[in-house]
Amino acid sequence: MADRSSIEWTEVTWNPTTGCDKTSPGCDNCYALTLAKRLRAMGQAKYQNDGDPRTSGPGFALTVHEDTLDAPYGWKSPRLIFVNSMSDLFHPDVPLDFIQRVFAVMSETPQHTYQVLTKRSKRLAAVASELNWPANVWMGVSVETDRYAFRLDHLRSVDAAVRFVSAEPLLGPLPNLDLTSIDWLIAGGESGANARPMDEQWVRDVRDQCGAAGVAFFFKQWGGRTPKAGGRELDGALYDEMPALAAP
């Protein structure tokens, strides 16, 4: 089953895995971990394992969902699909053969465009040569502070038709982004009860770097108590740019 998404830069979500654990500061107030606990309490079958604390670190046990893997074959009309909004496909607990099967499904459903986002960029780079990279797969990494800009180097090594960056939640300035071979950047502030503030100048600087590099820029939200609390306008304008390279 696909879930219609309220995320502005996608249409639906597809979660062949659920569960994750924290790997960098951007994970501290992770919506997926909070939502997984709520869904488990509501009795949602898919999230019953996700409520089990991991023994290796903060987070919840990762679960592979075989019954969800084939879902895109049944979606005939083209969709923009965010893969694993409730997990990370390149988490170390996801077997390589399962990642390969996810990529096979994406390759065999060219009517759709898939957006895959990871914080585990090192593993992404390590296994990329063992994956088939069809033109309808967009690959992205999260960069929440300058400390994690190295993830872009890993992303550049991947033979994806579209490479993108999620600077969300943006937790600090990104003054020296190397946007070589990057097609798209999404920026946004954190939301929720413990949302950390985002400085306006951080966003302007990222926008201007994208403009200078010819990279499509998408500003998702200022964030706050709720995702839409602060609106989406930056200097009186909406930035909804999408990458120029798109799957048919």
DSSP line for the chain: --EE---TT-SEEE-SEEEEE--SGGGTT-HHHHHHHHHHHTT-GGGTGGGSBPSSSSEEEEEE-GGGTTGGGG--S--EEEE-TTB-TT-TTS-HHHHHHHHHHHHT-TTSEEEEEES-HHHHHHHGGGS---TTEEEEEE--SGGGTTHHHHHHTS--SEEEEEE-S--S--TT---TT--EEEEE--BSTTPPP--HHHHHHHHHHHHHHT-EEEEEE--BSSTTTT-S-BTTB--B---S----
pLDDT for 235 equals 97
Quote the pLDDT of residue 73.
97
List, for residues 203-226, the tens digit of each pLDDT value. Answer: 999 999 999 999 999 999 999 988
pTM over 0.75: yes
Report domain extents, the chain. Answer: 3-221
pLDDT value for 20: 86
Per-block average pLDDT, block size 10, for the chain (248 residues)?
76 93 88 66 62 48 91 95 94 96 98 97 98 97 98 98 97 96 97 93 98 98 91 97 70
